[in-house]
Copies of this chain bind each other. A is one copy, B any other.
């Protein structure tokens, strides 16, 4: 079941990619990371960004929010928390507060005979900025 645990060399670009994701709360896409780092790393390639993000995700170093508007969104904050997605501009915002009770989750797991590793709450609607524009 366990992976053979690959050796991992140091890489300046990998560090930069991780740094970029951690430096923002905008829940970036691979494309965003690429465009952000490109000026400082002119020979960075999009493939490398994808490869590293996937690796970080598998290692649990960053989290994925799933796909929003066709693109996967990442999050440097691994602590589980709630997200709000604007259906107009696809912005993703952090929402403070716990929305699900762990008691209820545990109860569900045992009742249905499955293992629950995480619970994500996704709120959908229109963000303040887009509400203004619409009026």
What does the 1/0 interface line of A111-123 toward B look like (CB < 8 Å)? 0111111111111
Q: In the assembled complex, how far is the CB of residue A62 from the closest CB belonging to chain B, in whole angstroms?
A: 16
A123-B119 CB under 8 A given contacts A66-B67, A67-B67, A97-B108:
yes
| Contact yes or no, A118 B128, CB < 8 A | no
Q: What is the total number of copies of this protein in its complex?
A: 2
At the interface, yes or no: A3 with Cβ under 8 Å from chain B?
no
A105-B122 CB under 8 A given contacts A114-B84, A117-B87:
no
Give the chain B neighbours of A125 by CB distance below 8 A. 109, 114-118
At the interface, yes or no: A13 with Cβ under 8 Å from chain B?
no
What does the 1/0 interface line of A25-51 toward B look like (CB < 8 Å)? 000000000000000000000000000
